[in-house]
Chain A
């Protein structure tokens, strides 16, 4: 996670659909997880849905023991969290003040999904570095 100059999230249709399906499944609670990819590649490849330990419609938090296990797995496979995603279930798909304050992975794409509309799922991506948020385009690969 050395390059912070990413301007776009490139993600496969399959992974996008997995994130959306997870968010729909856990609605009205927030859903969360990561997509791991090879270190330095900026390629999200391995879908890892995480438990929302807060089980809340307004908050999410990884379970600390599950997080340790998943982070170790990534280390062992020379992977990093390329994408960290979570859903908003009643508001738009952009980082809240809390999301910004707590963002701890400056190299990750923060994907926000909103399930507030039953028909349409918003899917957006942001970088959050030192409290600064910038939205980036999402390119869906076939």
Chain B
């Protein structure tokens, strides 16, 4: 099951500069585990130790913010595209 994950500039040091990588998983959380096997350290930037999404990273499944779906539990299907964007925020 192939899922494309689009990687923002700030995380491309984990993907040898690649803008997009492929992985697999039944859920978003599983995809992150799979990606971390080849791109070590990436997962820790996306989810906390409990596996829930980091507060200031936006993850989209196709056109939806996964926070409005099932977070890390969001089910994935073959051909889905995940887009990761750093939240733009501050004080």
Contact = CB atoms under 8 A, between A and B. Distances in A.
A25 B56 CA distance: 26
B58 A102 contact: no
A60 B58 contact: no
Interface string A27-51: 0000010100000000000000010
Contacts, number: 68
A67 B85 contact: yes
A60 B85 contact: no
B60 A59 contact: no
A71 interface: yes
A104 B60 contact: no
Range of interface residues on B (Cβ < 8 Å): 10 to 19
Interface string A82-122: 00101000000001111100111111000000000000000
A68 B10 contact: no
Interface residues on A, range: 20 to 34
B86 A105 contact: yes
A62 B57 CA distance: 12
B56 A65 contact: no
B20 to A, nearest CB: 12
Interface string A62-87: 10110110010000000000001010
Given A67-B58, A105-B10, A96 B85 contact: no
A61 interface: yes
Interface of B: 8-10, 56, 58, 60, 63, 65, 67, 83, 85-91
9 contacts: A60-B91, A61-B88, A86-B90, A96-B91, A97-B91, A98-B90, A102-B88, A104-B86, A105-B10
